[in-house]
Amino acid sequence: MSKLSLDKILQSQGFGTRKYCRELIEDGEVSIAGETVRGYKQALETEGLRFHIFDEDWEYRAHVYIALNKPANFECSRKPSHHPGVLTLLPEQFSWRDVQPVGRLDHDTTGMLLMSDDGPFIHAQSSPKRHIPKVYQASTAEAVTPELVNTLLAGVQLHDEPAPLAAQTCRALDTHRIEIILEQGKYHQVKRMLAAAGNHCAALQRTAIGKLTLESLQLQEGEWCYLTPEQLALLVPTA
């Protein structure tokens, strides 16, 4: 259990500078349990705290853990160069509290993207030492053959890798689509592996991380949700 002054609470939740948050409170923009609160020094218990600001209800969260169904043509960068950044798909408060993508998806790759402001969580989820499987569905330019699937399972040599990279599992979904599961998380890995195997990736979607599936989240492209403790547990690799 911990208590913080209301201005510190708003600042920690991404509503702006401490000074700006004090002004919001003094101007009567914040209410708790239906009552307007104007004293920014008031210390409040953060556990389970809910407050109303800018015509929206918010719950205090020490950290946020988010899943986004990323559309195409968005960059996983805080400083995008050619396309809008994925942070533009989230409320502005998340930028203020330094939420960032966990790893990256190419601008033209769609599907599940994790985002958080918890540094240790981001590091753990991004580390190749964790061996967290990630599931992708790829549309291919040329037909999917048994030879292609077998080659990806056996491993292909990429020019900047010391050893061949192999899919954990790989199966044909139809004549021009495969599902491939990888653990390594190398740069452009699915696309490069398909090219090395003699095919070409026409479209790519990440459908699961660990045991957390995009289907279970029921998010349309561009939609996001907070992850529950039960959903976060599905991201932990099991022996």
Q: Rounded distance, CA 52 to CA 59, Å?
A: 9
Confidence at residue 1, expressed as pLDDT on a 0 to 100 scale:
59
Confidence at residue 54, expressed as pLDDT on a 0 to 100 scale:
87
Would the CATH topology of 3-59 be identical to that of 133-209? Answer: no
Place of tokens 């209800």: 57
What residue spans define the domains of the chain?
A: 3-59, 65-128+212-233, 133-209
Confidence at residue 228, expressed as pLDDT on a 0 to 100 scale:
95
Stretches in the chain below the pLDDT threshold 50: 239
Confidence at residue 238, expressed as pLDDT on a 0 to 100 scale:
55
Confidence at residue 186, expressed as pLDDT on a 0 to 100 scale:
79
- CATH class held by domain 65-128+212-233: alpha beta
For 109-128, how does the pLDDT look when each residue is reduced to its tens digit (9 = 90+)? 999 999 999 999 999 898 87
pTM of the model: 0.89
For the chain, what is the total number of helices (H) and then of strands (E)? 8, 15
CATH of region 133-209, choose from 3.30.70.1560, 3.40.50.1450, 3.40.605.10, 3.30.2270.10:
3.30.70.1560
Q: Do the bridges between strand 30-32 and strand 134-140 make them parallel or antiparallel, or are there none, so unpaired?
A: unpaired
Architecture of domain 3-59: Roll (3.10)
Return the exposure string of 83-110: e unless at least 16 CB atoms fall within 10 Å of the residue's CB, then b: eebbbebbeebbebeebbbbbbbbbebb
For 212-233, how does the pLDDT look when each residue is reduced to its tens digit (9 = 90+)? 999 999 999 999 999 999 999 9
Where does residue 131 fall: left (phi above 0), alpha (psi -120 to 50 degrees), or beta otherwise?
Answer: left
